[in-house]
Amino acid sequence: MRKKFFCMIFVYMLSICSAFSLPMITQMETVYATYSRYVTASSLCIRKSTSTSSAVVGHYTKGAKITCYGTSGNWTKVKYNGYYRYVYTSYLSSSKPSSSSSSSSTTGTKVANYAVQFVGNPYKWGGESLTNGADCSGFTKAVYAHFGYSLPHSSISQRSCGTAVSWSNKKVGDLICYNQIDGVGHVGIYIGNNQVVHAGSSSTGIHISAANYRSVWGVRRIVK
């Protein structure tokens, strides 16, 4: 009798708990919290989708505080001009960067010295890894990114980066842009002594060549 009584009480209490908990569960909704980040690149591309080949719709300057809406792979979702867009997560930080510009602490020599460390590493079409493989513009993009400069992953697009300088005024750390061969352009980083470091091909990998080993389109100065 006592056992039956306790069983009835247990069932009664369970029904009360269920009555109160079910409405709470059914009313719960998923909420995606926003958060703030600071831009660390001197000029961060805002892209239409999560790809380096996606259209650039705008730029954020270094130190800008932006509202983020989550991540997708290596990309962070932001809202720009009323639309959800994407920026590369590597160029965002939870702390505000120093007010000094990248150019004040970075020199062309530092860029060149950093770049030549990767000589001998593999070439990979579409790659941006300095150790596991990069193509020509992926290599230059990754090198400059180390110093806070945001370049597109395209040898043709990189022709518009920085400022133009003449061949006679080129300096260590400048971007050397080459004319197209069979519709394909090429870029490398000038390291002095009429030499350039670049990701040449699958057979050469990242290596050093004479700066004028092929027809030059122009020189761009990324580091002022």
Question: Hey, which residues are catalytic here?
Answer: 136, 186, 198
Pairwise CA distance, residues 74 & 61, whole Å: 20
For residues 134 and 222, is the Cβ–Cβ distance under 8 A?
A: no
SS3 label, residue 129: strand
Pairwise CA distance, residues 198 & 188, whole Å: 5
**Beta-carbon neighbour count of residue 111 at 10 Å?**
25
What letter represents residue 138's amino acid? Answer: G
For residues 40 and 97, is the Cβ–Cβ distance under 8 A?
A: yes
SS3 label, residue 89: helix
